[in-house]
Amino acid sequence: MRIFFYVQWLLGIGHLQRSLRIAEALVGDGVAVTLACGGPPAAGLKIDPAIDIVQLPPVRALDARFELIDEAGRPLGDALRAQRREKLLAALAAARPDAVVIEGFPFARRAFAFELDPLVAAAKRAICSVRDIVTMRDDPARHRAAIDRVRSGFAAVLVHGDPDFIPFAASFAPAAAIADRLLYTGYVANPAPPDTGAPPDTDTPTGEVLVSAGGGAAGAALMRAALDARRAGCLADAPWRLLTGMNFDGALDPPPGVTVERFRPDFPAMLRRCRVSVSQCGYNTALDIVAARAPSVLVPFAAGNETEQLIRAEHLASRGVAEIVREEALSAESLGAAIVRAGTQRPAGLAIDTGGAARSARIVAAIARGDFRGEGLVSRGGDGMIRE
């Protein structure tokens, strides 16, 4: 059996990381996997060598306005569209997969319909894979188009979330119209760092203020506000560490006591030792924070009318997990005050389903075999939720 994944990341690499976790679970179950990546190669990201990677001509977003550009910074044109479509369909034909998993589409990545509509048409079975929250304009015509596309081309929609925490209808109001194909898998979390019981073997001190920006493409304002808060004396007795992200494009001038790095593979373990975490609220970062029970300040990305991170952050704050500073209110003063508040509190625990990687792999394999009915694998409630 072989499964073919398509993933396109534009700013952060969360979509790619989530697809890789599911692909790794499939490989672990003895399933062959091909993954077609439409974003630039993510340097420093560990990828299982058993996964066959097909790199399409890269396309990314110039900035938070999501203007699409190629690797040379030129606007996406018809020639590159044709080149990508041909390479994608050739890779599909070579792989001859039993199912195709497409990240986001048709709820997102509509600008890539030029290659995704042909991919769905050529797939033996197509499966939509989406995070807990989708970002769509509140437009009934857009909603109807997504529903019609799901019903005409997809065997299932896998929602990588927990409806007891954030139901899909929180971001896609007419979710009931596809309830017969909507399957909650649980969150696709990073593997927990091993607890050896020994002192941390790392050059990272404990008790630091840890500021992170995910992939980094949209984190410049957060980084600068954090540095300004530190210069103003916020928790100046603690070491600070800024993780800018692999795609951060900017210069920083940190004062003494502040370390700046682009990426740390041990970020989840660092969260368990920090005094306060300051971050945006992307899918993977939020899961790492919840698992670590780190005192946290969330500054959800909200440029270009994005609502995904704000919805997630508000749900976390309502459960006592974190403080929120809205992006439009971000300043050294507002961020510094929130950091001080967070540092004096113990965050509430949050029980959410994080078994999404293994469960997604089992469902995808069952659909690929053509024998998925839900019986014997999972039980389904009327809202589409799956439970083992």
Q: What is the pLDDT of residues 252-298, one digit of tens each?
A: 889 999 999 988 888 999 999 999 999 999 999 999 999 999 999 99
> Is the confidence at residue 196, as pLDDT, over 70?
no
Say if residue 106 is preceded by a cis peptide, omega within 30 of 0: yes
DSSP β-ladder status, 59-61 and 68-70: antiparallel
Token pair belonging to 156: 């299932």
Q: Which of 113-122, 132-141, 197-206 has the lowest mean pLDDT?
A: 197-206
Residue appearing with tokens 């469960």: 359
- pLDDT band for 378, please (50, 70, 90 cuts): very low
Q: Which of 25-34, 85-94, 337-346, 377-386 has the lowest mean pLDDT?
A: 377-386
**Are 34 and 54 a contacting pair, CB within 8 Å?**
yes
Taking CA atoms, 154 is separated from 88, 91, 151, 206, in Å, by: 18, 20, 6, 48
Give the pLDDT score at 382. Answer: 41
Q: Which of 13-27, 199-213, 243-257, 263-277 has the lowest mean pLDDT?
A: 199-213
Average pLDDT over residues 80-97: 97
> Is the confidence at residue 333, as pLDDT, over 80?
yes
131: which strand partners?
A: 160
- How much is the mean pLDDT over the chain? 88
Give the pLDDT score at 368. Answer: 95
Give the pLDDT score at 346. Answer: 85
